[in-house]
Amino acid sequence: MTKPLAFLPLFLGLALAAPSLEQAEALLKSGEYAQAALAYEAILAQDYGRVEAHLGLGVALFRAGRLEEARFAFDQMTRVFPERYEGHFNLGQVYLRLGKPLEAAEAFRKAAALRPTEEAYLGLAAALAQAGKAKEAAEVLRQGLTPDRSPAYRLALAQALYAAGGRAEAVPVLYGLLNQDPKRAEAWELLARILAEEGLKGRALRELDRGLAQVEGKARARLLLRKALLSEAPEPLLREAYALDPSLWEAAYLLGQARLRAGQAKEALPYLLSAYRTSPEPPVALALAGAYLRLKDYGSAYRYADEAGPPGAFLKAQAAYALGKREEALRLLEGNGAPEAQALKGAILLEMGRPEEAVALLRPLYEAGRDPQVGGNLAAGLVALGRFGEAELILREVLGRTPREASAWYNLGLALRGLGREGEANRAFRQAAALGSNEAQALLRR
């Protein structure tokens, strides 16, 4: 029997009803951005002239991190509604997030022309600053300044003037702001920085004290940090700043540096690690590499020196050498003409059985500074080359400065033996053995 045909439900031939604007807005408010975007798209598919749907779609996509789609949505809004401020302003925000400051500046200019709001001027200035146009950013904020602008706007103007090199112009703006809002820590901090850079250190410290009398809580930490940078005794101020705000990485970094300078690498580590967790800046990584080198944790030193970038190349070479990576250490030292780098390179060449290269490198270095360690390595290279007389002269000079250097006594013994002065050589070997030279002790036992 032939199977009968089923009837299709009538509603399949009809268009599905679009969600309402209220439903789309509810999805947006509840954080369901993907669903909200679909809802707004459906509304626009039926009526592309709904300004609320254009705006909602752009916002939903922006909050979902779908920046290119958000850019397109707001760009469409500016084309359909060129007179609407919101489209141009939000398009500028998206361009900023996309790292396209010139396009952002164009969008913010249009927004400010339609409605000269504070946020439009701030957005335009931010875009210009990101594009490297500091003077233009400052001029925009100056043009947009009106009596009703907020303290945040005035602070942004002062910061822009400072960034553009207009320190003196920023000062009256800051004083006006602080008369209006005396608890704004960033303004006190910038004022003190400018005064100090103008050579008015005493006045800068007095203004910081005025600020500390007004500012409360965690915000005080940055003022204490600035005061520490201007103080002859910074450590108590840095400790207080760090206690108030452990996320203030500069304070932790400076405390760690102070401990390093005092030769207390172990005590420096907690501060430096705290600073690095908050802000892994190259100077912090470099300080950590130095601390770990002193503690003979060469693996950690190598890691942080690598993260410090080019400034960490020498410390990375030191760590690589300590880890037995001599070829890598030599590569890292290429082009580094600093005496300490050349001294390390000479030592590595000597260990790699390349005494002629080591001697050629170390001789001018020793003659320039008479460093005993460099002299000891130079003499070891001369001994390896059989130039015993030259080696003896240098080693006696080295031992005159560092008489308890076991390796120098051992190498002197080798030089004297090479010169046929066996009795003197044995006395040098015994002195080396007494100072802990394993090589001399083994030789004397034969």
Q: How far apart are CA 254 and CA 239, in angstroms?
A: 10
- Tens digit of pLDDT for each residue in 165-221? 999 999 999 999 999 999 999 999 999 999 999 999 999 999 999 999 999 999 999
- What is the rounded average pLDDT for all residues in the chain? 93
Q: Where are the beta strands (DSSP E) in 27-154?
A: none
The pTM for the full model equals 0.79
According to DSSP, residue 310 is labeled: G
pLDDT for the residue numbered 408: 94
Instruction: Give the whole-angstrom CA distance, residue 69 versus residue 75.
Output: 10
d(CA 21, CA 54): 11
Residue 445 pLDDT: 82
Domains and CATH numbers, the chain: 246-336 (1.25.40.10), 358-446 (1.25.40.10)
- pLDDT at position 277 over 70: yes
More confident position, 440 or 279: 279
pLDDT band at residue 444 under the 50/70/90 scheme: confident
The whole-angstrom separation of Cα 289 and Cα 380 is 30
pLDDT average, residue stretch 233-261: 96
Contact of 195 with 211, CB cutoff 8 Å: no
Average pLDDT, integer, range 27-51: 95
